[in-house]
Amino acid sequence: MSMPQIPKGFRDFLPQKMAVRRRIIETMTRIFETFGFEPLDTPCLEYAETLEGKYGEEGEKLIYKFQDRGGRNVALRYDLTIPLSRVIAMHTDITKPFKRYQIAPVWRADKPQKGRFREFYQCDIDIIGSQSAYADGELLVITHSVLRTLGFENFIIRINNRKVLNALALKAGIAEKDIAAFLRCLDKLDKVGADAVLSEMQDKGLLSPRSSDLVYKTVLKDGGDFNEIAQLLQGIPVGDDGLKELEMIRETLVSHDVPEKFYRFDISLARGLDYYTGPIFETVVTEPKIGSITGGGRYDNLIGLFTKQTIPATGTSFGLERLVTVMEELDSLKTAPTQTRVLVTFFDETLMAENLRVAKKLRDEAINTEVYFAPVKLKKQLAYAANRSIPLVVIVGPDEAKQGMVTLRDMRRGSQETIPLPELIRTVKDDSVS
């Protein structure tokens, strides 16, 4: 058989790569749970019809679909939001508000390119059954908490509200049927700039000359000015609603001591997906420039696609791959290349039982310890420890064994000392702390 391959756009994660990923996932899990979110897991395979018609024309093409052996059309999970909606529809007895998190891979048959993969992890939190903007605010408090805990310093959570954008469109005389197209144009602002967006809106016939001026001044120019908008929209009910919700979000952020530099109310934020109905948000890392690392918003009508009931919902998603990229580029995370602290070397078979007992004692103290099993020269075993970046090596020779001693070698300093076994435990524990 020829050398095996891994499918394009898919990746193996060897232990060193896994360390960063696991640290991010553990940090998120812990923070999500302190806010009362609970884990949910859904299958990787869904019926195709559950996913079809939910992700727009472009998204639809990227769904991995196939027929199973029974001829049923199935598909690999494309995101975590639609499966959640299906769960809510099927399990009507779930107590609401239902706050769940899910950290899991999704699949998209996208063209593989730098930073874009066909299998990647999403980390989602959603609150189902609460229409309060405090719920939206909480998602942003969590976003801030996760990123700060991971060591991120240069990021801004951009916040807007589809209701405010709708009121603005109303004010600008944009027809209701054109609002979705208006938002899709606006969504390109960061990529193509204000003039290009304005041209496209005009070319598509979305704007009259008078409304062009209004939209340019209030939204497009320099990313727009939220205060101006707030004044402009006074008295339009949907705008008032939206502004009140944004005030509740601000209150939530202030109550949690989130510094102002980490968030901005930004009228030019549109978000691509059609299904948002209220507050929308995304987080942009400013250094390194990598685009958005979280995104989400309120989607009060999506779950209704499956069930006749309208169930309010809001959620946000962290992109694990981009978080990893930022952390690697910033080197903000000095993750140890291995979790293993100690290698117990092999001397000869007669001393193996002694080696194993020493290893057991270390493990009983929660010290990650590996035993070398093969009869090879000590030099080669030390090279193995160095290769693996295991910091400490324990050697038990016949003399040591007789006296209840062990030799402890510090691979980083190249020093070693022979000490009694109980001291070994203390020394290794102190070493872990420092």
Shortest distance, position 312 Cβ to a second copy, whole Å: 10
Shortest distance, position 343 Cβ to a second copy, whole Å: 8
CB atoms within 10 A of CB 328: 14
Q: Would you mind telling me the total number of residues written for the chain in this entry?
A: 434
In the region spanning residues 74 to 93, those forming contacts with a second copy, defined by CB under 8 A, are 74, 76, 86-87, 89-91
In the region spanning residues 282 to 321, those forming contacts with a second copy, defined by CB under 8 A, are 305-307
- Comparing CB distances to a second copy, the nearer of 157 and 189 is 157
Shortest distance, position 174 Cβ to a second copy, whole Å: 30
When asked if residue 350 is in the footprint of a second copy (CB under 8 A), the reply is no
Instruction: Give the C-alpha separation, 115 to 136, whole Å.
Output: 29
Tokens representing 357? 């007992």
Instruction: Give the C-alpha separation, 100 to 78, whole Å.
Output: 18
Residue 86: CB partners within 8 Å, gap ≥ 6? Answer: 42, 46, 50, 306
List 199, 231, 309, 339, residue binding a second copy (CB under 8 A): 339
- Where does this chain touch a second copy (CB under 8 A) — which range of 44-52, 171-179, 291-299, 414-422? 44-52
Shortest distance, position 271 Cβ to a second copy, whole Å: 22
- Beta-bridged to residue 128, according to DSSP, are 98, 313
CB atoms within 10 A of CB 422: 10
When asked if residue 259 is in the footprint of a second copy (CB under 8 A), the reply is no
- Comparing CB distances to a second copy, the nearer of 86 and 162 is 86
When asked if residue 353 is in the footprint of a second copy (CB under 8 A), the reply is yes
Q: What is the DSSP string of 195-262?
A: HHHHHHHHHTT---HHHHHHHIIIIIGGG--HHHHHHHHTT-HHHHHHHHHHHHHHHHHHHTT--GGG
* Site size for a second copy (CB under 8 A): 94
Long-range contacts of 72-76 (CB under 8 A, 24+ apart): 72/47, 73/47, 73/48, 73/49, 74/45, 74/46, 74/47, 74/48, 75/45, 75/46, 75/47, 75/48, 75/50, 75/51, 76/44, 76/45, 76/46, 76/106, 76/107
- Where does this chain touch a second copy (CB under 8 A) — which range of 148-156, 333-341, 406-414, 422-430? 333-341
- Where does this chain touch a second copy (CB under 8 A) — which range of 12-20, 147-155, 216-224, 261-269? 12-20
In the region spanning residues 182 to 211, those forming contacts with a second copy, defined by CB under 8 A, are none
When asked if residue 333 is in the footprint of a second copy (CB under 8 A), the reply is no
Tokens representing 227? 């205060």
Tokens representing 98? 């239902």
- Comparing CB distances to a second copy, the nearer of 89 and 378 is 89
- Cβ contact 355:371 at 8 Å: yes
- Where does this chain touch a second copy (CB under 8 A) — which range of 149-157, 163-171, 186-194, 335-343? 335-343
In the region spanning residues 365 to 384, those forming contacts with a second copy, defined by CB under 8 A, are 366-374, 384
In the region spanning residues 46 to 75, those forming contacts with a second copy, defined by CB under 8 A, are 46-47, 49-50, 64, 66-69, 72, 74
In the block, residue with structure tokens 């302190």:
34
In the region spanning residues 119 to 178, those forming contacts with a second copy, defined by CB under 8 A, are 119, 130-132, 134-135, 138
Shortest distance, position 356 Cβ to a second copy, whole Å: 4
- Where does this chain touch a second copy (CB under 8 A) — which range of 16-24, 197-205, 269-277, 403-411? 16-24
